[in-house]
């Protein structure tokens, strides 16, 4: 996940606590929703407006007040309370194919003052936006920060030029949005990460806590010849008796797949020896994020920061991403350039296999 995604998708434990504490206050924002129903405001700017405002990057903007319109049944459930946030912003900048989004919790700036404005806060005491409804029922959205989709302090890390490229423009503020049907906002938020029916059920449904599985791939000579930088000759990802027993003893099926152990075995064509490494997984968005574990390791260093990602693929396959040298193809303790996995050993499309194919 990128920092831009994380900034919108993960609000943190502090936000969950603060949002739960403000759940009653959220119900009092009758200016936004007189009857308490989820409401939508939005605007799509035409070419003439954008031409007249060259420093406005935002071409489409929608604000949704209510229940989470982003999380869907095909993704891993959010660990956050539904009361933790109730304001959702999505914008699409000129030329972009998909929107970006952020979420926060919206409350009166001064609950004792009926005329008080509305502030929507984010994690790290940041502001998502300030809101008010004009006499025509339109939502005036102001105080929108250029770095709303970036991590706090991103300018220092990205540098001025890249920060300006990723941030919103100088005219991206003080939007006046029209009331729209709630379904319109839901359709807009669905553009962020469209559901692909070919992917089928998420891994948490496809793979059961008490059932073994085996995925893998054997690369033939033709493939290896066309991928000279690939070290992997054979790869298996599995849960067997050891991993099942570990979860049965200490796992929580209600929070599956959090705490699930998996094993990854790799045979390289250079050495020809099989190396098996255990990983401990957590559900994250529509994937499993798995950290290398010392339960079954040939390495003496702290390898907990070596991670792989599992994601469903089309046609019942499993995708394994290895962005940070996290497969035991090379020494996981190595800090040298030679210890990094090459590009042809970073993403794998694995097929289901009989459990016997994954027997150690």
165 and 241, same structural domain? no
Q: Which domain holds residue 115?
A: 3-195
Which of 60-64, 262-266, 303-307 is predicted least confidently?
303-307
173 and 65, same structural domain? yes
CB atoms inside a 10 Å sphere around CB 158: 18
pLDDT score for 2: 34
Instruction: Considering only residues 20 and 221, tell me which one the structure prediction assigns the higher pLDDT.
Output: 221
Phi, psi of 170, deg, nearest 5: -70, -20
230 and 89, same structural domain? no
Question: Does 221 have pLDDT greater than 80?
Answer: yes
- Which of 168, 195, 222 is the endpoint of a domain? 195
pLDDT score for 5: 36
178 and 96, same structural domain? yes
Which 3-state string (H, E, C) describes the chain?
A: CCHHHHHHHCCCHHHHHHHHHCHHHHCCCCCCCCCCCCEEEEEECCHHHHHHCCCCCEEEEEEEECCCCCCCCCCCCCCCCHHHCCEEEEEEECCCCCCEEEEEEEEECCCCCCCCCEEEECHHHCEEEEEEECCCCCEEEECCCCCCCCCCCHHHHHCHHHHHHHCCCCCCCCEEEEEECHHHHHHHHHCCCCCCHHHCCCHHHHCCCCCCEEEEEECCHHHHHHCCCCCEEEEEEEECHHHHHHHHHHCCHHHCCCCEEEEEEEEECCCCCEEEEEEEEEEECCEEEEEECHHHCCCCCCCCCCEEEEEECHHHCEEEECCCCCCCCCCCCCCCHHHCCCHHHCEEEEEECCHHHHCC
227 and 180, same structural domain? no
Whether the model clears a pTM of 0.85, i.e. scores above it, the answer is no
Q: What percent of the chain has pLDDT over 90?
A: 48
pLDDT score for 88: 94
- Which of 137, 168, 195 is the endpoint of a domain? 195
pLDDT tens digits, 280-291: 998 876 789 898
Closest CA to 329 of 268, 264, 263: 268
Max mean pLDDT among 163-177, 314-328, 334-348 falls in 163-177
pLDDT score for 195: 75
Question: Does 301 have pLDDT greater than 70?
Answer: no
178 and 325, same structural domain? no
pLDDT score for 340: 56
218 and 163, same structural domain? no
- Answer yes or no: are the C-beta atoms of 122 and 147 closer than 8 Å: no
175 and 216, same structural domain? no
The dihedral sign for the CA sequence 291, 293, 298, 302? positive
186 and 77, same structural domain? yes
290 and 148, same structural domain? no
207 and 239, same structural domain? yes
- Which of 152, 168, 195 is the endpoint of a domain? 195
- Residue 288's CATH number: 2.40.160
In total, how many domains does the chain have?
Answer: 2
Question: Does 78 have pLDDT greater than 60?
Answer: no
Question: Does 143 have pLDDT greater than 90?
Answer: yes
Q: Which two tokens stand for residue 17?
A: 């606590």
Average pLDDT of the residues in 240-269: 91
323 and 183, same structural domain? no
Average pLDDT of the residues in 190-196: 83
pLDDT score for 305: 63
Q: pLDDT confidence of 70, banded at 50, 70, 90?
A: confident
pLDDT score for 57: 97
């Amino acid at each position: 996940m990128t920092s831009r995604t994380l900034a919108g998708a993960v609000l943190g434990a502090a936000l969950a606590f603060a949002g739960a504490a403000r759940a009653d206050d959220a119900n009092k924002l009758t200016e936004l929703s007189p009857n308490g129903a989820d409401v939508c405001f939005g605007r799509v700017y035409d070419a003439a407006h954008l031409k007249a405002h060259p420093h406005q990057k935002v071409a489409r903007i929608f604000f949704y007040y209510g229940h989470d319109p982003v999380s869907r049944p095909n993704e891993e459930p959010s660990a956050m309370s539904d009361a933790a946030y109730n304001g959702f912003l999505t914008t699409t900048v000129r030329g972009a194919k998909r929107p970006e989004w952020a979420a926060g919790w919206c409350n009166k700036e001064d609950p004792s003052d009926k005329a008080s404005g509305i502030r929507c806060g984010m994690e790290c005491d940041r502001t998502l936006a300030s809101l008010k409804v004009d006499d025509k029922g339109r939502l005036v959205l102001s105080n929108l920060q250029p770095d709303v989709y970036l991590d706090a302090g991103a300018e220092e890390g990205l540098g001025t030029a890249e920060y300006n490229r990723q941030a919103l423009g100088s005219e991206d503020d003080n939007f006046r949005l029209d009331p729209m049907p709630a379904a319109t906002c839901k359709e807009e938020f669905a553009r962020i990460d469209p559901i692909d029916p070919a992917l089928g059920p998420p891994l948490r449904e496809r793979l059961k806590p008490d059932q073994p599985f085996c995925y893998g791939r054997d690369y033939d000579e033709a493939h290896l010849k066309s991928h000279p930088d690939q070290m992997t000759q054979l790869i298996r990802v599995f849960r067997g008796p050891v991993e099942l027993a570990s979860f049965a003893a200490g796992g929580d099926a209600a929070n599956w797949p959090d705490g699930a152990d998996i094993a990854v075995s790799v045979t390289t064509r250079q050495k020809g020896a099989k190396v098996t490494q255990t990983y401990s997984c957590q559900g994250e968005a529509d994937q499993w994020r798995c950290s290398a574990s010392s339960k079954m390791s040939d390495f003496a260093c702290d390898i907990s920061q070596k991670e792989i990602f599992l994601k469903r693929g089309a046609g019942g396959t499993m995708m394994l991403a290895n962005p940070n040298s996290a497969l035991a193809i090379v020494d996981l303790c190595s800090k040298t350039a030679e210890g990094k996995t090459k590009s042809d050993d970073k993403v794998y499309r694995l097929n289901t296999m009989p459990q016997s194919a994954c027997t150690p």
